[in-house]
Amino acid sequence: MACGACCTCNFTCSCYLCHCTEKLWLAGFSKGIQEMHRKASLVLEDAVRNIYTVVAFCAGDKIMELYKLHLGKILKQSLVHGLAIGFGFGFSQFLLFACNALLLWYIATSVDKQRLTIATGLKQYILFSFASFALVEPFGLAPYILKRRKSLTSVFEIIDREPKIDPDDNTGLKPPNVYGSIEFKNVDFSYPVRPEIFVLSNFNLKVSGGQTVAVVGVSGSGKSTIISLIERFYDPMSGQVLLDGRDLKSFNLRWLRSHMGLIQQEPVIFSTTIRENIIYARHNATEAEMKEAARIANAHHFISSLPHGYDTHVGMRGVDLTPGQKQRIAIARVVLKNAPILLLDEASSAIESESSRVVQEALDTLVMGNKTTVLIAHRAAMMKHVDNIVVLNGGRIVEQGTHDSLMDLNGLYVRLMQPHFGKGLRQHRLG
């Protein structure tokens, strides 16, 4: 009885263990079990990640009950899956040894009837044994082979994927000077994971060279997206982002990013020394330049007070530093880079109160230069030093002007600046 779906199957036993059947096993059992294991693992991951909250609410027993519930769902399918794979493996081993026994019987009979010599019979037996092992053994391992093959397929899909924005592309313009004028013209943008939701819609904004523009708005209004588009982490779906009158796509990507200094909301600190973290922006910087950058960022004093100074290791992701110290190191890195365009994404929002003043002074010094600056912030102290404030809601500009003019307008900007309910308001998009 041959298998209709696989032309290489000649016997009933082979049909049962053929490639088609193994794929059905994997699709019917492994996929469901893997999904259940993933859900069970998420319960533990959330519990460990938020262990303080779990302990504070005495929810340890509840977590264990939930984990046991997920494992109970896995148990039955795992047993069936294990039995199916075990039966297939056992059956393939039975075939292997049955073929060997049949061959030994045939050779012994042939030698007894003098149709074969003992030497010839042994040669044929060894040859057939290796051949049958090579043919039968993979069938028992087929579920594992297919499972790993699917995993490798997804890995190679990532490796072979060609990004739309190629960071290694050496083509593009490299002008000798950057004036720093930035303009958004009729920009529409949505993130690839949620293409149906437009973060920016027909967005227009112009930042003159050397001007400081602050962007404020409710959560999800597109503030951080503006910085991502300027850095060309993404390209707009329609419209243009211009630098000095030219589309960003026309510039060499490495050249473009080398002329921008970025400070993120959560400062990025590498697991190395403070020195290496600061000169990450410019590896050929001198010792004097590095320390001057640290002084401007109000970081030199606390760095010098450390046991090993600038050679102090900061631990994994800067775990040995306070948020304020990490932010000042990140500011020093940008100061050392000395880029003509500065992009600050909520650079002082996560700072503890005792460090807020020194970090704010460092940011003020950074912003008050002659660089083109786009900053996202909600502190009124920062707003008084900017040339223009843009208020976003729903991916559009709803208000624009200086701090004083927007305060007189008494609109959304005033509500966002009020400390009592401004924080809660920023969590929701306004209609």
**pTM exceeding 0.85:** no
- pLDDT profile of the chain (431 residues), mean per 10: 37 36 43 71 79 70 81 77 78 79 84 82 79 68 66 78 81 90 93 88 90 87 90 92 93 90 82 87 89 89 89 73 85 89 73 58 70 82 82 88 88 77 45 43
Please state, in angstroms and rounded to a whole number, the distance separating the CA atoms of residues 314 and 280. Answer: 14
Q: Tens digits of per-residue pLDDT, 305-329?
A: 888 899 988 876 566 788 888 888 9
Task: Quote the CA–CA distance of 97 and 91 in Å, as a whole number.
Answer: 10
Predicted pLDDT of residue 246: 93
Nearest to 107 by CA among 97, 94, 120: 120
H-helix or E-strand containing 73? helix 60-112
Please state whether beta strands 182-189 and 200-207 pair in parallel, antiparallel, or not at all (unpaired).
antiparallel
Helix (H, G, I), strand (E, B) or coil at 387: coil
Residue 62 confidence (pLDDT): 78
DSSP label at 279?
A: T
Q: Which amino acid is at 241?
A: V
Look-up of token digits 């044994």: 129
Burial class (CB in 10 A: 0-12, 13-18, 19+), 374: buried
In contact, 98 and 92? CB cutoff 8 Å: no
What are 96's strand-pairing partners?
A: none
What would the two tokens of residue 147 be? 């499972």
> What pLDDT score does 324 carry?
82
**In which region does residue 162 sit, left (phi positive, over 0), alpha (psi from -120 to 50) or beta (all else)?**
beta
Q: For residue range 253-305, what is the model confidence (pLDDT) as tens digits?
A: 889 998 998 888 777 788 888 998 898 888 888 999 999 989 988 889 889 98
Question: Which structural domains are found in the chain, ordered by start?
Answer: 12-160 (no CATH), 172-259+339-431 (3.40.50.300), 271-335 (no CATH)
The residue whose two tokens read 């010098």 is: 304
- State residue 298's pLDDT score: 86
Residues 288/318, Cβ–Cβ less than 8 Å: no
